[in-house]
Structure 1
Amino acid sequence: MDFSKTTCLVTGGAGFIGSHIATRLVEQGARVRVLDNLSTGSRANFGHIADQIEFIEGDICDPNMVDEAVAGTEIVFHQAALASVPLSLEQPLRTHADCVTGTLHVLDAARRNGVRRVVYAASSSAYGDCPIMPKRESYVPEVISPYAAAKLAGEYYCQAFAAAYDLEVVRLRYFNVFGPRQDPKSPYSAVIPLFASALLDGRSPLIFGTGEQSRDFVYVQSVVDANLLAATTPGVSGNVYNVASGTTISVIELLRMICDLMNQPFSPEFRPPRNGDVLHSSADISRTERDLGYVPRFALHDGLKATLDFYQQQQQTPVVVHH
């Protein structure tokens, strides 16, 4: 994949996944612009490439700001969102504004500015509790949270803009992404950083429900691979692809693996299940492999080790970030 001299915009580029995409694009020789309002992202996430990117502090809900960010770009990686099921249950209107209205602003600006392709970060939450495993892109969505509904609405706008305006759009349904820079301090954090944070602080990790719920965890660098492939592979506009590892593990087994890697005792604290949480999530990635040439290169164990090393390093050298 040759991105040399290609001008790319990463919305949410100060966030967990977006900052990894921005980093890889810089390494590939792209001209990189980042749009982020720093509500959940952090300058520390792109500090290592700060002098190699153009950073615009702004909100995707501001159409003028989006227009400024999109102008002159060839590829847009749209990662910005309020990416939390629990938060969406508390703030459904804010979730809609960020995930739906914000996405519409990005798509409209891309259409008007002649962007070559938009890659949209969709979500496996679209599948809900569909009992058929593994989950294929052709399955009818069954959303059970405002977050899932908002991300799916964003997908439908992508589909509509591809059909109505000939804007090239590829949708990537992320499963459970993990890796360095995923924030462990938010009450809405994902399970791996929450487990790691609890163990580093000497607390019992919390498991909601029985722990038998299963997930497909995919390392963030594989997600970056999928984004770059989706941006450059010809003939895939309008399509949707699962981005996952193709393997599953129960939450309780995941915690055992993390405890082993951190040499910590296994002593979870169980809480009642949370509303909106899907019980089982397993991905069929055969379409992604076939169409995009995607290969999940990182085993769960190896990705976990790199991630836990990052959190342990962060605890030893805390970074103070001023927004």
Structure 2
Amino acid sequence: MERIPILVTGGCGFLGTAVVSALLDIQRYAITVIDINPPSLGSTTFPNDVRYVRCDVLDPATLLKTFSESRPAIVIHTVGVYPLGMKRYSMEGKEMVFEVNVEGTKNVIDASRMCGAKGIVYTSSVTVVFDELNKDFRNVDETWPTGRAGTSYGLSKAIAEDIVLSANAHDFVTCALRSAPIFGPNDTAIIPTLHSCIAAGQTPFILGTGTNFQDFVYVVNVADAHVLAVGNLLNSQTAAGETMFITNGTPVTTRDLCLAVWKEFGHVPRFQITIPEALASWMGFGAEWVSWLTSTEGLLSRGIVSDGCRDRYASILKARRVLGYAPRVSLEEGLKISCQHYQKQLNGRSKR
């Protein structure tokens, strides 16, 4: 059977790697990956039956050349800039974020159309709704408005999502998958950040009530959703022009998530101290000043406090109905796998 050509942008990244692996499991796709840092020849880290090409989404000419050579039926666009630390909660450094997340997406759409692709699956984010930082979002669905985010990431993803959906047509179908914060092996944000709280002595402190619920999603589940979306756009096309939230479907309190992660590293706080949100916010403000004065970023800021004290979870009923999406790996199992992987990384560093 002739394999269907699929192109994945950012296919060497955290999510992109998982998407490529999930596509390979189907055994009906010929995969091309573009990335600014593709693996070197002979690399044993990446699968050898995938074509890797060095390409920047901000380079339209090279992008078009690569797309024209691979002639994908569907493009999966995972490339994006996600600011970490205090920049996550502001517009600081927005130029690069908007350039990659918005202009890069426009370039991918143009190249996809010009090479004759049938459509695009776009990796969006729950932040297109959730990044109104001082608001609670409970059981959100796809009818909720976007474009109100107060962060460079949330706003850039909302603009890019609109561009992708506006490109949907009878001969070029598009959809957007709004992923919750992703964790898993090689995660550089969630697991490492929560683990760092142990050494910093911050685990006893509860910001706000600690009873607010938030969504997370294991990386394999997000990859599965992308593969389902590809199949949909190639066949029934019921996902065309649609957005869908992709989460693990099990909202968890911030405190319970932290405790579950710390437990995997053999740590249980010996006591607990609840810090009211207003006081925590002032502490975050002070921490920001210390960071500015010392040019070293700490683990606390007003953005982190606000984000950590809010309810942020969405319904995945639409993804279940349209794509047949069902989280394959539970939150508990995913956390265990992720923490064990991170522990091996830490052990490897200590032996150097």
TM-score (norm 1): 0.85
1:305 is displaced (CA, Å) by: 0.3
Question: Letter of the aligned partner of 2:258 in structure 1?
Answer: L
Please point out which of 148, 157, 182 is paired with 1:151: 157
Q: What is residue 172 of structure 1 aligned with on the other side? A: 177
- In 2, are the aligned partners of 1:33 and 1:69 still within 8 Å (CA)? no
What is the DSSP-based 3-state SS (H/G/I as helix, E as strand, rest coil) of the residue aligned with 1:237? Answer: coil
SS of corresponding position for 1:56: strand
Q: Does 1:265 align with 2:268?
A: yes
Structure 1 CA distance for aligned equivalents of residues 46 and 39 of structure 2: 13
The amino acid across from 2:16 in the alignment is: G
Instruction: Give the aligned partner of residue 20 of structure 2.
Output: 22
Are the counterparts in 2 of residues 95 and 147 from structure 1 also a CA contact under 8 Å? Answer: yes
How far, CA to CA, are the matches of 1:42 and 1:90 in structure 2? 31
Do 2:92 and 2:152's aligned partners in 1 also have CA atoms closer than 8 Å? no
| Number of equivalenced pairs | 304
Give secondary structure in 1 for the equivalent of 2:313. coil
TM superposition score normalised by structure 2: 0.78
Query: Against the structure 1 CA distance between its residues 92 and 245, is the aligned structure 2 distance closer, same or farther, given a 3 Å change threshold?
Result: same
Residue 65 (structure 2) pairs with residue 62 (structure 1)? no
Q: Partner residue of 1:186?
A: none
Residue 74 of structure 2: aligned partner: 75
The match for 2:114 is 112
SS at match of 1:137: coil
Give the match's secondary structure for 1:314. Answer: helix
- Structure 2 CA distance for aligned equivalents of residues 8 and 205 of structure 1: 45
After superposition, the Cα gap between the structure-2 partners of 1:208 and 1:232, relative to the gap in structure 1 and judged at 3 Å, is farther
Q: Residues 211 and 150 (structure 1 numbering): CA distance in 2 closer, same or farther, change over 3 Å? A: farther
Report the CA distance shift for 1:23/1:211 in structure 2 as closer, same or farther (over 3 A): farther
Q: Is the 8 A contact 2:137 2:311 kept in 1?
A: no
Mark the CA change 1:198 to 1:47 in structure 2 (over 3 Å): closer, same or farther: farther
Among 201, 206, 220, the residue aligned to 1:204: 201
CA displacement, residues 71-99 of structure 1 (integer Å, 9 cap, x when unaligned): 21112110000023625632101000000
Equivalent in the alignment of 2:340: 309
Paired residues of 1:8 and 1:76 also in contact (CA < 8 A): yes
- Partners of 1:195 and 1:205 within 8 A in 2: no
Q: In the TM superposition, what whole-angstrom CA distance separates every residue of 1:131-165 from its partner, at most 9, and x where no partner exists?
A: 452110111123121111110111111111114x7
Looking at structure 2, the residues matched to 193 and 133 of structure 1 have their Cα atoms a distance apart, in angstroms, of: 27
- Report SS of the residue matched to 1:31: strand
Cα distance in 2 between the residues matched to 1:42 and 1:204: 38
Give me the CA root mean square deviation: 2.7
| Structure 1 residue 312, shift from structure 2 partner | 1.3
Q: Which runs of 5+ in 2 are unaligned?
A: 274-279, 285-300
* In 2: Cα distance, 1:251 partner to 1:218 partner: 14
CA distance in 2, matches of 1:89, 1:157: 21
CA distance in 2, matches of 1:245, 1:255: 16
User: Is this contact kept in 2: 1:126–1:151, CA < 8 A?
Assistant: yes
- Where 1:52 maps in the other structure, the secondary structure is coil
Q: Among 248, 255, 268, which residue is 1:252 paired with?
A: 255
Structure 1 alignment gaps of length 5 or more: 184-188
Question: Structure 2: which amino acid aligns with 1:150?
Answer: S
Q: Secondary structure at the match of 2:7?
A: strand
Percent identity of paired positions between Structure 1 and Structure 2 = 24
Offset from partner CA, 1:16-74 (integer Å, 9 cap, x none) = 00011112222322222111123xx987xx84334222112221111112213322111
Aligned to 2:11: 13
Match of 1:51 in 2: 48
CA change 1:53–1:262 in 2 (3 A) is same
Structure 1 residue 205, shift from structure 2 partner: 5.2
Q: For residues 14 and 120 of structure 2, what CA distance do their matches in structure 1 show?
A: 19
Which segment drifts farther, 246-255 or 102-111? Answer: 246-255
Using the TM superposition, give the Cα deviation of residue 116 of structure 1 relative to its aligned residue in structure 2, in angstroms: 1.9
Matches within 5 A, 1:275-314: 275=303, 278=307, 279-314=310-345
Mapped contact 2:8–2:33 kept (Cα < 8 A): yes
Select the residue among 232, 237, 255 that pairs with 2:240. 237
Contact in 2 for aligned 1:9/1:69 (Cα 8 Å): no
Structure whose alpha-carbon radius of gyration is higher = 2
The amino acid across from 1:204 in the alignment is: G
